[in-house]
Structure 1
Amino acid sequence: MSTGEKSPFEHVHALAMDAEGRTLFLGAHTGLFRSEDGGRSWRKVTLGTSHSHLDVMAIAPDPRDPRTMYVGTHEAGVLKSLFESVTELGVAHGAVS
């Protein structure tokens, strides 16, 4: 993103890289975003929940499975993402398996 452009992000909370080191993920008040070009451009990730707005607070890629990522939100708790599909796990207290 070049200077002078309005950022689509509000209050960035999390930044993570996928297990293969190819994709960056950014969590913000305005949702989850991904970049496949080192952060030069970003696109919003649709998490497929019933919530129209998700405040993404944490992102944790699974180091054993490059297809799996956990996303912590205020509104939907912890989401487990497998490629483009997402499972709503609710609020996790302790480890999520």
Structure 2
Amino acid sequence: MYVGGRSSCITAITEEVAMTIFHFGKHTVPFADIHDINVEYRYHDNEIYVDLELNGGVQLSLNLPDSLTFMEQFIKKIREEKDIPLDVKSQQAVEA
């Protein structure tokens, strides 16, 4: 099943964790439902596009603005889970 079209993104705050949910018409997608991510980038055009594969085999292709939003939130999620500060060089200087 392929779900296309323009997507939008909102963040819902729960008591313990901020969970990002993407909306595609009547569809909502939390990070936990994402099975795989394919990123296509065009360096000289300053473009990046994300295709998501969800549990159950559904595939979603995000447009440029939503691809950027997704990647920003995904990188933030990785930093939080791996406890990597935003400014690694400043953190390394403090530790030295």
What's the TM-score bracket when you normalise by the shorter of the two chains? 0.3 to 0.5
The normalised TM-score by structure 2 is 0.33
